[in-house]
Structure 1
């Protein structure tokens, strides 16, 4: 069975974690230690960034 590739690059996830304030936790303990709320915040922000890039509305 092949391993599924992630949609977000590692770099992008790290940048989101930094922006959202929990990168230190990821760096120390790994992605498996983030909470469901933190993961949800990452997805929400990634969608927001994607929508902004489609509309050209960079803020």
Structure 2
């Protein structure tokens, strides 16, 4: 099984995890220790950030 290349940078993942309050878990256990709900919230936050960036470029 091949691993997919991540679209989000490690820095962005860390920043979002910190904002959402699970950066310690991510640092200590990696994504295997992060709940499905937190991963989903991370994706939602990343989409919000991307949408804001896109809107700023279109203005």
User: Which of the five TM-score ranges fits, normalised by the shorter chain?
Assistant: 0.7 to 0.9
Normalising by structure 1, we get a TM-score of 0.84
Unaligned runs of 5+ in 1: none
Measured on the aligned residues, the alpha-carbon RMSD in Å equals 1.3
Q: How many equivalent pairs are there?
A: 56
Q: Distance in 2 between matches of 1:2 and 1:30?
A: 19
Unaligned runs of 5+ in 2: none
Normalising by structure 2, we get a TM-score of 0.84
Give matches, 1:1-59, under 5 Å.
3-56=3-56
